[in-house]
Amino acid sequence: MDINNAIESILISSGRPIRLSEMKKLLNGQGLDLELSEIRLAITALMERYENTSLEITEVASGFRTQVRTEFSNLLFPIWNDSNTKTSKALLETIAIIAYKQPVTRGDIEEIRGVTVSSNIIRNLLERDWVKIAGYRDVPGRPALLETTKTFLDDLNLKTIHELPMLPELIELSIDTIETPETDLSNIV
């Protein structure tokens, strides 16, 4: 059995990101005793095979997956568009606050947004598995602490939360703090 083809079939048919250890277990069950490094080499070979195609293999928080390249998303949008899963501005603001400030409570989100957070928004984020309750703050009322999940990272095609783009005010702050040397222009004729 060709290792590359075996791994390719796992990635295409899994329907979700799959970890190297899961691939190893599946392959071992078929009599292929491979090391994780050998599986990673096969994945690299597949990435090269897909280089000039519409498919790509990406690593996200939950493992590796085969997916259609981003430049083909407009072509596929009519097929994938599900009008039942609209994302409101309030939901986007809420998930952004959770992602950048995690772990946060509902009160923290309301303080930042300046408005009350709807229970439906939190429920929607929990149902999508974009957030989870990571614990409870040790204050009266013991509010739940919310943080993002691997599903959230997978859906955004990220390995870690640190791959999120910088916030605009942080970019401006870092630009303002860069010291520029003073230039003496008196010698220029």
pLDDT at 184: 43
Which CATH number, 1.10.1660.10, 3.30.479.20, 3.40.50.620, 1.10.10.10, labels domain 89-174? 1.10.10.10
Give me the CATH topology for the region 3-69. Arc Repressor Mutant, subunit A (1.10.10)
Q: What are phi and psi of 80, to 5 degrees?
A: -90, -15
Location of structure tokens 């702050």: 173
Q: For the chain, which residues make up each domain, given as ranges? A: 3-69, 89-174
Residue 174, CB-side half-sphere exposure with 13 Å CA sphere:
5
pLDDT at 1: 77
In 32-143, where do the E strands start and end? 55-60, 63-68, 131-136
Listed residue (108, 107, 153, 116) closest to 131, CA to CA: 153
Domains 3-69 and 89-174 share a fold: yes
What is the full per-residue pLDDT of the chain (189 aa) written as tens digits? 789 999 999 999 998 999 999 999 999 988 888 899 999 999 999 999 999 999 999 999 999 999 999 888 788 777 766 655 667 889 999 999 999 999 999 999 999 999 999 999 999 999 999 999 999 999 999 999 999 999 999 988 899 999 998 877 655 544 454 444 444 444 433
Listed residue (41, 58, 29) closest to 3, CA to CA: 41
Whole-model pTM above 0.85? no
pLDDT at 48: 95
pLDDT at 187: 42
Asked whether the beta carbons of 94 and 113 are under 8 A apart, the reply is yes
Express each pLDDT in 87-96 by its tens digit: 788 999 999 9
Listed residue (110, 10, 122) closest to 64, CA to CA: 10
